[in-house]
A and B are shown apart, each in its own frame.
Chain A
Amino acid sequence: MHPFGADALLGIGCPYLPVFPSLFSPEVIDFVEVTPETLAVAHLVEGALRFTLDEQRMQDFLAATCALPAVLHGVELSLGAAHGWEEGALALYDAFITRVDVPWLSEHLSFQTYADPSGARKWTGIPLPLPPTLEAVELVRSRRRALERRYRRPVLLENAVHYLPDLPSDCCLDEVGFLNAVGRGGRGGLLLDLFNLHCQARNHGADARHWLDRLELDLVIEIHVAGGPEIEGFLLDGHDGPVPEEVWKLLRETLPRAPRCRAVVFEVLDIVAERVGEETIRRQLRRLREETAPWRRGMRDDARAMAIAAR
């Protein structure tokens, strides 16, 4: 069993930001979330995407984060693409995992590739949402099972944001029903991005609390909090600023109701980290530590009780 197994409490973390290596110390965070695509160079080989880990970037990552456990957060797999996912991303995760042990992997509930009318593989340019349909549920569940078999680790699925009108759905499924359906079964569950949920609710005139009441929170293994700008009437999942008070409040309300949650991340994108600034990120991480203190204490007590019971 991995020393930081899926049942272990990881605590609070943030994405690997190479511009601020001093963040990655146990005094600041408990674990790091790493996106292997940011440590690799992408090539197109006969129209297919291939990634090569950049040795210098890998060495910098290992040196900066050696004192912390890591979880893998993929971005280029195109998990929900009906015509086929990105095999190159899988090869990259294979290579990464041989060098860095991770208790779980997480992916986004979206698609970035598609087959155009001539059947050629194309890129959408940005992640697009999956409709809450039975076909999409079945596709995601089968892909998740395949990933869990391949990596012998739990796989978590992250809720997305979109700005389109309400997506076509099958009877009895909606945004929350879709998350519950794809999160069930298997070893993993959901990565609940509370800022994404907040954006979705705001942008589509819904109530985030009402959604949380219907979401099966025992499926949640990891939570993200983040911030983003409001542009042209939409709250964007920019992940480029401080967490809004409404999202901190959602975190306080969600954590005690998510019994399997093991990790909470303040998410900021590496490409905007310098603009956000190290001091802002440190302040957000201090706040995250304060906000999650009761949960962390409770989890440790639970772990101790389980250890005593097992003995």
Chain B
Amino acid sequence: MTLERWQSRLAESLNGRPEPSSDPWWQQTASSHGLAVTRRIRVSWAFHRLREAGGLSLRALESACQEVLLARWLDQGLGNAPSLEQEVELLREDILAATRDPSHARSICLLEITLSRGLRDRERGLHGQRISAAPTRIAFHGPPLDILVAVTEGVSPPLDTTITWVEIWPDTPDRWSIIRSASGEETARDP
């Protein structure tokens, strides 16, 4: 067996896709305690990467919900690459689906999704096509910066009845600190 083939086979075994073999080494390895330990270490590293990639959105979820999502992602074999850039949007959509409406977790997740899409579009030079587009508005149930700081510190403040909008313009997604309170009319139209 070539080295390339051996490496592919070992890595696939580690990721739970072992290839049946009559070779004694592969048979011994497949059922070995050492491979099981190596797999658990891989999962713990992937868990760490996924938690980092989930960002503040993931941290804003209740811990039980976080665990369910992380377990599902790990089952899908995510988290092995040093950069989870390609998976991040998928992960955030998954987090969004797990949030309650209204909740701080939902507001934060919408904020992170909008920001990353805006930054990505700008990197790809798409913003010029949408220069006249309206801003995306995200409702926060309380002062947005206070909520973000609290969630960063692991605290979930109570939902405020006053809504504050964060507005993100497509051509300046990095200047999102344009915050204003929703008018009575806006709150009535889009509670």
Binds B, one of A62-70, A115-123, A250-258, A297-305: A115-123
Question: How many angstroms between the C-alpha atoms of A291 and B81 in the bound complex?
Answer: 39
- On whether A128 and B2 interact (CB within 8 A), knowing A44-B83, A115-B8, A164-B34, the answer reads no
For residue B1, which residue of chain A has the nearest CB? A168
- On whether A123 and B82 interact (CB within 8 A), knowing A165-B32, A165-B34, the answer reads yes
Question: How many angstroms between the C-alpha atoms of A47 and B12 in the bound complex?
Answer: 19
Question: How many angstroms between the C-alpha atoms of A82 and B6 in the bound complex?
Answer: 9
Contact between A125 and B8, CB atoms less than 8 A apart = no
Per-residue 0/1 for A127-144: is the Cβ within 8 Å of any B Cβ (1 yes, 0 no)? 010110101100100000
Question: How many angstroms between the C-alpha atoms of A231 and B38 in the bound complex?
Answer: 11
Main secondary structure of the interface of B (DSSP, over half): helix
| Number of B residues with CB within 8 Å of any CB on chain A | 32
- On whether A165 and B8 interact (CB within 8 A), knowing A42-B82, A128-B14, A135-B3, the answer reads no
Contact between A116 and B12, CB atoms less than 8 A apart = yes
Within 8 A of B (CB), among A91-141: 111, 114-117, 122-126, 128, 130-131, 133, 135-136, 139
Looking at the assembled complex, report how far the CB atom of A111 sits from the nearest CB atom of chain B, in whole angstroms: 6
Check: A234 CB closer than 8 A to any chain B CB. Answer: yes
Check: B122 CB closer than 8 A to any chain A CB. Answer: no
Question: How many angstroms between the C-alpha atoms of A76 and B80 in the bound complex?
Answer: 13
Contact between A232 and B28, CB atoms less than 8 A apart = no
Contact between A128 and B10, CB atoms less than 8 A apart = yes
For residue A233, which residue of chain B has the nearest CB? B33
Check: A43 CB closer than 8 A to any chain B CB. Answer: yes
Binds A, one of B40-48, B158-166, B169-177, B179-187: B40-48
A135 neighbours in B (Cβ, 8 Å): 2-3
Check: B98 CB closer than 8 A to any chain A CB. Answer: no
Check: B56 CB closer than 8 A to any chain A CB. Answer: no
Contact between A164 and B6, CB atoms less than 8 A apart = no
Looking at the assembled complex, report how far the CB atom of A131 sits from the nearest CB atom of chain B, in whole angstroms: 7
A139 neighbours in B (Cβ, 8 Å): 3
Per-residue 0/1 for B75-91: is the Cβ within 8 Å of any A Cβ (1 yes, 0 no)? 00001111101100000
Per-residue 0/1 for A222-258: is the Cβ within 8 Å of any B Cβ (1 yes, 0 no)? 0000000001111010000000000000000000000
Check: B35 CB closer than 8 A to any chain A CB. Answer: yes
Complex partner residue of A165 from B7, B28, B79, B81, CB under 8 angstroms: B28
- How many cross-chain pairs have Cβ atoms below 8 Å apart between A and B? 96
Complex partner residue of A128 from B7, B37, B86, CB under 8 angstroms: B7
Question: How many angstroms between the C-alpha atoms of A37 and B82 in the bound complex?
Answer: 10
Check: A206 CB closer than 8 A to any chain B CB. Answer: no
Contact between B81 and A44, CB atoms less than 8 A apart = yes
Question: How many angstroms between the C-alpha atoms of A105 and B32 in the bound complex?
Answer: 35
Complex partner residue of B37 from A43, A111, A234, CB under 8 angstroms: A234
Check: B116 CB closer than 8 A to any chain A CB. Answer: no
Contact between A44 and B86, CB atoms less than 8 A apart = yes
Contact between B82 and A76, CB atoms less than 8 A apart = yes
Question: How many angstroms between the C-alpha atoms of A146 and B34 in the bound complex?
Answer: 34
Contact between B3 and A116, CB atoms less than 8 A apart = no
B33 neighbours in A (Cβ, 8 Å): 232-233
Question: How many angstroms between the C-alpha atoms of A233 and B33 in the bound complex?
Answer: 9
A49 neighbours in B (Cβ, 8 Å): 81-83
Contact between A164 and B2, CB atoms less than 8 A apart = no
B152 neighbours in A (Cβ, 8 Å): none
Check: A23 CB closer than 8 A to any chain B CB. Answer: no
A residues whose Cβ falls under 8 Å from a Cβ of B: 37, 42-44, 49, 76, 81-83, 111, 114-117, 122-126, 128, 130-131, 133, 135-136, 139, 162-165, 168, 203, 231-234, 236
- 9 more A-B residue pairs beyond the given contacts A117-B8, A131-B3, A163-B34, with a C-beta to C-beta distance below 8 A: A42-B82, A43-B83, A76-B82, A114-B7, A128-B11, A162-B38, A164-B29, A164-B34, A232-B37
Instruction: List 11 A-B residue pairs with CB atoms under 8 Å apart, sorted by A's residue number.
Output: A42-B83, A44-B81, A44-B83, A44-B86, A116-B8, A122-B80, A126-B42, A128-B10, A128-B11, A128-B14, A139-B3
